[in-house]
């Protein structure tokens, strides 16, 4: 067992301000200006040209399309909507609670310095022998023919190993088993295309299949037996490069390009996603998250502090970024807990273009540049509880079934008494007086039932026994009425009305109480949280949402209530409510932002399907209590659709994708008996 100093975090974690803007806005790739920094020799530390210029005209707000054949008159003008959002945001004064309590974080401790001071090296950890490896980089005199150095935490010693076949800086390295992969880099004269592989056991190097062109100032990470080279370019300028090396086939392929061009970024994987963090000589704070399952990128919340040339690692629970700052040489660190960036402990020595890695409870930061070639090395002890095992489920593929009788957008869907019920919505011509439809999975048939007493769209439905509850909605006017549909008698009655009109909300039942979440009397995003007690036919108010939303989806796993996405600019966040304590927390963000998604609980996982205000997503994802994972693609994409689950089958129906949708699809999901796992939700 290695000796690992344990130190508890000595400062209170910084709370990030409540966000009302959306992180999943569609961005076009941005290119770098001419000029990149090739060498640290004779540099004073000041940055040269090569910054990424973001589009100053992009606000991230996606405005509703007022010309489509839907109810568009209830949306406020953009200026009024933004003013209302700001007003509501200022009212939410209580900071969201943190849900990451799974790690004990120490303080950075200085250890033995590296043998050869250097900048722009790579650092990686080999789990099979518990050692760290410092590879490549530039030393004094522009020397890049430097030995690999092996660090042993147990003895606090650095040992020189073999030299690279071609000495390079400005690259990264990734360990897989007993091998370390080093793609490309900068020789001092030009970029490299070669893939060098270091055999730790034999202390030898070989070359493998080269990249299709040279690449440097990129970052490197390994996931699922593939090595990714991300960012950088043939000239070292910021780029959107995404090259993937398959270890099994010794071949290269290209993935989806980064949304934002970077060089000198750092890449980290949590075992599912890849994060490309910061970068560039002007220290951007952008964080780009890649899903290899879907080959898609999402912009997630920015760092608290822009960082070019930072190091990064994953501690088993959190994604870390350390140091960086092209001319400021930061000592600060931050970590992403799946929800927000938190402040970590400061290091003793600030550097940029440094190396960082994590293994067996220890983070190591080594070398870099802070006006000179640095030999400093520091370690940080981090002890995290292991994540819960993912649920065991068999998930099929979406299969189209009989279409609904009346194509409609903005309906709601519920499961009760072995049937699914599609309720409300808006049909062609703005008609809302449309029948409830009952779907029988056994016969694959839709049957028209009674009409609502008040035809509404933009609401939701929740089932309790043989009753379906439909709170509020939009009839052409905002509605406060609570309608109840009796499945057995096929009749609709009104119950006690909500405290105020509300639409564009979600609704879910938990412990015989109906929760109405989000939306507002005018349909704009709101913090609404009304609770209807079915036993007493009475309403009360509960803790407001953390973030104002309209058109979200909601579901309950029996312990918590989740409110997912929403808004016409596709909010990516997830808000989790504990009815036992009347407290909201932020849960891990989704893979992509979704306005108008559907949602359901399969007995183990919370699902979000479709949505995307103008993109009409076919994608689905599910939250297993720890992270969001990609689900199977639907055949027909839509937003403001209905979704529900019952008896091993999920059903989605209706919606809008440029027209009123009549499509319906089923998904078979079989999960082992539900045991609630996420007691240490990220």
Within 8 A by CB and 6+ apart from 202, the residues are none
Chain-centre distance for alpha carbon 464: 33
Question: CA-to-CA distance for 313 and 294, rounded, in angstroms?
Answer: 23
Lowest mean pLDDT: which of 216-220, 466-470, 622-626?
622-626
SS3 content of the chain, % helix, strand, coil (to 5): 5, 40, 55
Burial class (CB in 10 A: 0-12, 13-18, 19+), 250: exposed
Phi, psi of 375 (to 5 degrees): -110, 0
Within 8 A by CB and 6+ apart from 487, the residues are 416, 417, 419, 421, 466, 467, 468
* DSSP helix/strand/coil, 605: coil
Q: Is the pLDDT of residue 532 over 60?
A: yes
Question: CA-to-CA distance for 191 and 137, rounded, in angstroms?
Answer: 13
Phi, psi of 140 (to 5 degrees): -55, 140
Question: CA-to-CA distance for 504 and 535, rounded, in angstroms?
Answer: 26
Over residues 449-462, the mean pLDDT reads 99
pLDDT digits (tens, 9 = 90+) for 130-160: 999 999 999 999 999 999 999 999 999 999 9
Percent of the chain residues topping a pLDDT of 70: 84
104-384 architecture in CATH? 6 Propeller (2.120)
Question: CA-to-CA distance for 217 and 197, rounded, in angstroms?
Answer: 19
Mean pLDDT of the chain: 88
393-671 architecture in CATH? 6 Propeller (2.120)
Task: Tell me the pLDDT band of 17, cut-offs 50, 70 and 90.
Answer: very low
pLDDT score recorded for residue 16? 33
Over residues 533-538, the mean pLDDT reads 98
Which of residues 22 and 62 earns the better pLDDT score?
22
pLDDT score recorded for residue 541? 98
Task: Tell me the pLDDT band of 84, cut-offs 50, 70 and 90.
Answer: very low
pLDDT digits (tens, 9 = 90+) for 292-328: 999 999 999 999 999 999 999 999 999 999 999 999 9
Question: CA-to-CA distance for 60 and 586, rounded, in angstroms?
Answer: 21
pLDDT score recorded for residue 76? 43
Within 8 A by CB and 6+ apart from 94, the residues are none
pLDDT digits (tens, 9 = 90+) for 482-512: 999 999 999 999 999 999 999 999 999 999 9
Q: Is the pLDDT of residue 65 over 60?
A: no
| 104-384 shares its CATH topology with 393-671 | yes
Over residues 251-256, the mean pLDDT reads 98
Q: Is the pLDDT of residue 361 over 90?
A: yes
Task: Tell me the pLDDT band of 50, cut-offs 50, 70 and 90.
Answer: very low
Q: Is the pLDDT of residue 225 over 80?
A: yes
pLDDT score recorded for residue 455? 99
Structure tokens at 455: 């035809």
Spatial contact of 420 and 651, defined as CB atoms under 8 Å apart:
yes
Task: Tell me the pLDDT band of 673, cut-offs 50, 70 and 90.
Answer: low
Residue (of 514, 548, 665, 663) closest to 84 by Cα position: 548
pLDDT score recorded for residue 101? 56
Spatial contact of 679 and 446, defined as CB atoms under 8 Å apart:
no
Burial class (CB in 10 A: 0-12, 13-18, 19+), 166: middle
pLDDT score recorded for residue 676? 45
Structure tokens at 123: 């650092």
Residue (of 555, 572, 651) closest to 606 by Cα position: 555
Over residues 454-482, the mean pLDDT reads 98
Q: Is the pLDDT of residue 15 over 60?
A: no
Q: Is the pLDDT of residue 594 over 50?
A: yes
DSSP state of 361: T
Task: Tell me the pLDDT band of 102, cut-offs 50, 70 and 90.
Answer: confident
pLDDT score recorded for residue 612? 98
pLDDT digits (tens, 9 = 90+) for 420-430: 999 999 999 99
pLDDT score recorded for residue 325? 98
Task: Give Rg (Cα) of the chain.
Answer: 27
Phi, psi of 95 (to 5 degrees): -70, 145
Domain boundaries, the chain: 104-384, 393-671
Task: Tell me the pLDDT band of 387, cut-offs 50, 70 and 90.
Answer: confident
Cα–Cα separations (whole angstroms), residue 146 to 3, 138, 150, 564, 634: 29, 8, 13, 51, 52
pLDDT score recorded for residue 10? 37
Q: Is the pLDDT of residue 26 over 80?
A: no
């Amino acid at each position: 067992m290695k000796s690992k100093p344990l130190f508890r975090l000595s400062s209170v974690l910084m709370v990030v301000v409540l966000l009302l803007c959306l992180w999943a806005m569609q961005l076009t790739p941005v290119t770098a200006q001419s000029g990149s920094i090739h060498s640290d020799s004779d540099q004073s530390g000041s940055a040269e040209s090569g910054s990424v210029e973001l589009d100053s005209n992009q606000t991230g707000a996606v405005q509703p399309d007022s010309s489509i054949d839907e109810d568009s008159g209830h949306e406020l003008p953009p200026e009024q909507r933004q003013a209302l959002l700001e007003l509501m945001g200022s009212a939410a004064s209580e900071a969201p609670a943190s849900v990451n309590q799974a790690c004990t974080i120490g303080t950075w401790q200085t250890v033995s310095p590296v043998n050869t001071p250097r900048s722009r090296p790579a650092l990686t950890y080999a789990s099979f022998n518990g050692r760290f490896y410092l590879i490549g980089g530039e030393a004094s005199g522009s020397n890049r023919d430097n030995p690999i150095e092996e660090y042993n935490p147990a003895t606090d010693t650095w040992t020189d190993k073999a030299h690279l076949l071609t000495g390079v800086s400005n690259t990264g390295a990734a360990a897989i088993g007993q091998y370390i992969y080093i793609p490309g880099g900068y020789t001092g004269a030009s970029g490299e295309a070669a893939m060098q592989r270091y055999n730790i056991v034999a202390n030898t190097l070989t070359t493998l299949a080269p990249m299709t062109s040279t690449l440097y100032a990129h970052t490197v990470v390994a996931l699922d037996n593939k090595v990714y080279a991300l960012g950088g370019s043939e000239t070292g300028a910021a780029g959107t490069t995404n090259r993937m090396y398959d270890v099994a086939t010794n071949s290269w392929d290209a993935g989806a390009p980064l949304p934002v061009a970077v060089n000198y970024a750092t890449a980290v994987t949590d075992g599912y996603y890849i994060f490309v963090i910061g970068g560039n000589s002007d220290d951007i704070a952008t964080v780009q998250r890649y899903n290899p399952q879907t080959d898609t990128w999402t912009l997630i919340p920015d760092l608290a502090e822009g960082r070019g040339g930072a190091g990064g690692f994953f501690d088993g629970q959190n994604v870390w970024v350390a140091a960086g700052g092209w001319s400021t040489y930061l000592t600060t660190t931050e970590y992403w807990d799946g929800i927000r960036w938190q402040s970590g402990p400061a290091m003793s020595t600030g550097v940029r273009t440094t190396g960082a890695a994590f293994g067996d409870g220890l983070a190591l930061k080594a070398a870099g540049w802070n006006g000179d070639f640095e030999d400093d090395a520091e370690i940080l002890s981090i002890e995290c509880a292991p994540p819960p095992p993912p649920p065991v489920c068999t998930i099929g593929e979406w299969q189209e079934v009989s279409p609904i009788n009346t194509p409609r957008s903005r309906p709601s869907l519920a499961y009760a008494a072995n049937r699914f019920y599609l309720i409300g919505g808006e049909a062609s011509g703005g008609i809302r007086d449309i029948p409830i439809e009952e779907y029988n999975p056994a016969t694959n048939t839709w049957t028209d039932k009674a009409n609502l007493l008040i035809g509404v769209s933009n609401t939701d439905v929740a089932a309790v026994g043989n009753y379906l509850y439909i709170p509020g909605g939009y009839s052409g006017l905002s509605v406060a009425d609570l309608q109840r549909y009796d499945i057995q008698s096929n009749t609709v009655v009104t119950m006690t009305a909500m405290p105020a009109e509300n639409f564009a909300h979600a609704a879910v039942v938990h412990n015989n109480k109906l929760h109405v979440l989000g939306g507002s009397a005018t349909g704009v995003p709101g913090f609404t949280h009304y609770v209807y007690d079915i036993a007493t036919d009475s309403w009360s108010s509960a803790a407001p949402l953390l973030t104002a939303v309209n058109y979200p989806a909601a579901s309950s796993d029996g312990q918590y209530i989740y409110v997912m996405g929403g808004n016409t600019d596709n909010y990516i966040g997830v808000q989790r409510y504990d009815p036992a304590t009347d407290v909201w927390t932020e849960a891990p963000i989704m893979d992509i932002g979704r306005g108008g998604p559907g949602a359901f609980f399969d007995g183990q996982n919370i699902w979000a399907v479709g949505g995307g205000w103008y993109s009409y997503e076919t994608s689905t994802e599910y939250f297993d209590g720890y992270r969001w994972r990609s689900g199977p693609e639907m055949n027909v994409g839509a937003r403001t659709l209905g979704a529900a689950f019952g008896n091993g089958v999920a059903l989605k129906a209706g919606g809008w994708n440029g027209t009123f949708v009549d499509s319906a699809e089923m998904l078979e999901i079989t999960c082992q008996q539900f045991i609630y796992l996420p007691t240490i939700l990220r």
